[in-house]
């Protein structure tokens, strides 16, 4: 697959994820917008404002600089940056936020179709927060971010769903790639240690720690991995997204149970 085809695929998944999120937001009641999410300090309104902020910047809108104070839930420079988008939109109505997301995404989608990126390693002209992502990283991350926030909203308002969408599949597969790093670096597993991950509805993947101390994906599933972790897409995304600790029956661990539990505890890989 060429870079152009792969990047175009990410754009299509992101575009559908934006539609899924905004359609959900349109269905909410006034009380729903004030519901707290799993993200510290953010309610549903804040999640929508954050999405509007990033999509607006990517669509070419000017960066905003507002005083966010010193909220307890903000961590790091990127946290301060994203909080600016939330604070700047605190007084906007739900309809205004939904329209802002849709208008910004439509503008950007139109531009990406008219002049599609062809080199994944090239740098976009416009990106939020001054981060140094290339086209591959930016376009691959946007469906993940939008879908994760759709799920944040769904949990906050008690409307489960969206687990079989293109963005859901994209996110689970993408986050699964972090397993080798978590096994080798965070858990400190020794060379030869292997882990198999089975997420319902997705092809199983396996990683092993090499002699160089790095985790690498295995082309073939090992017949007897050191540990096997089995869970559903929702709980896997919650683990990798650092949202919630799953109940005991949400994740099954076979083999080295102690290592499996450590991997589950350490598998928060999104900021």
Task: Return d(Cα 114, Cα 37) in angstroms, integer.
Answer: 37
Amino acid 57: pLDDT = 95
With beta carbons less than 8 A apart as the criterion, state whether 174 and 148 touch.
no
**Neighbouring C-alpha atoms within 13 Å toward the C-beta of 154:** 19
Amino acid 271: pLDDT = 64
DSSP calls for the chain: --HHHHHHHHHHHHHHHHHHHHHHHHT--TTGGG-B-SSTT-BHHHHHHHHHHHHHHHTTPPP--------TT--HHHHHHHHHHHHHTTT--HHHHHHHHHHHHHHHHHHHHHS----TTSPPS--GGG----HHHHHHHHHHHHHHHHHHHHHHHT----TTSHHHHHHHHHHHTTHHHIIIIIS-PPTT-EEEEEETTS--EEEEE-TTS-EEE-SS--SS-SEEEEE-HHHHHHHHTT--PPPGGGEEEEE-HHHHHHHHHH-----
Amino acid 64: pLDDT = 83
Q: Tens-digit pLDDT profile for the chain (271 aa)?
A: 899 999 999 999 999 999 999 999 999 999 999 999 999 999 999 999 999 999 999 999 988 888 777 777 877 777 788 888 999 999 999 999 999 999 999 999 999 999 999 999 999 988 888 788 999 999 999 999 999 999 999 999 999 999 999 999 999 999 999 999 999 999 999 999 999 999 999 999 999 999 999 999 999 999 999 999 999 999 998 899 888 888 878 999 999 999 999 999 999 888 6
Domains in the chain, CATH or no CATH each: 3-160 (1.20.120.450), 177-266 (3.30.1050.10)
């Amino acid at each position: 697959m060429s870079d152009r085809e792969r990047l175009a695929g990410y754009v299509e998944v992101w575009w559908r994820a934006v539609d899924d999120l905004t359609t959900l937001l349109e269905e909410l009641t006034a009380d729903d917008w004030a519901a707290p999410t799993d993200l510290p300090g953010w309610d549903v309104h804040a999640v929508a404002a954050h999405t509007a902020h990033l999509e607006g910047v990517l669509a070419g809108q000017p960066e905003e600089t507002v005083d966010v104070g010193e909220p307890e839930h903000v961590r790091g420079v990127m946290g301060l940056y994203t909080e600016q988008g939330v604070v700047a939109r605190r007084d906007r109505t739900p309809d205004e936020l939904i329209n802002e997301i849709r208008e910004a995404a439509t503008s950007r989608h139109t531009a990406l179709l008219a002049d599609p990126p062809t080199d994944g390693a090239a740098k976009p002209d416009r990106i939020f927060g001054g981060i140094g992502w290339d086209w591959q990283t930016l376009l691959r991350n946007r469906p993940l971010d939008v879908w994760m926030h759709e799920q944040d909203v769904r949990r906050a308002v008690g409307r489960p769903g969206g687990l079989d969408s293109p963005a859901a599949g994209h996110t689970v597969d993408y986050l699964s790639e972090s397993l080798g790093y978590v096994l080798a670096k965070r858990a400190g597993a020794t060379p030869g240690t292997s882990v198999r991950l089975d997420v319902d509805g997705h092809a199983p993947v396996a990683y092993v720690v090499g002699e160089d101390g790095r985790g690498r994906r295995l082309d073939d599933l090992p017949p007897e991995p050191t540990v096997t972790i089995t869970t559903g897409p929702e709980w896997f995304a919650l683990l990798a997204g650092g949202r919630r600790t799953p109940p005991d029956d949400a994740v099954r661990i076979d083999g080295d149970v102690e290592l499996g539990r450590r991997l589950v505890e350490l598998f928060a890989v999104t900021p």
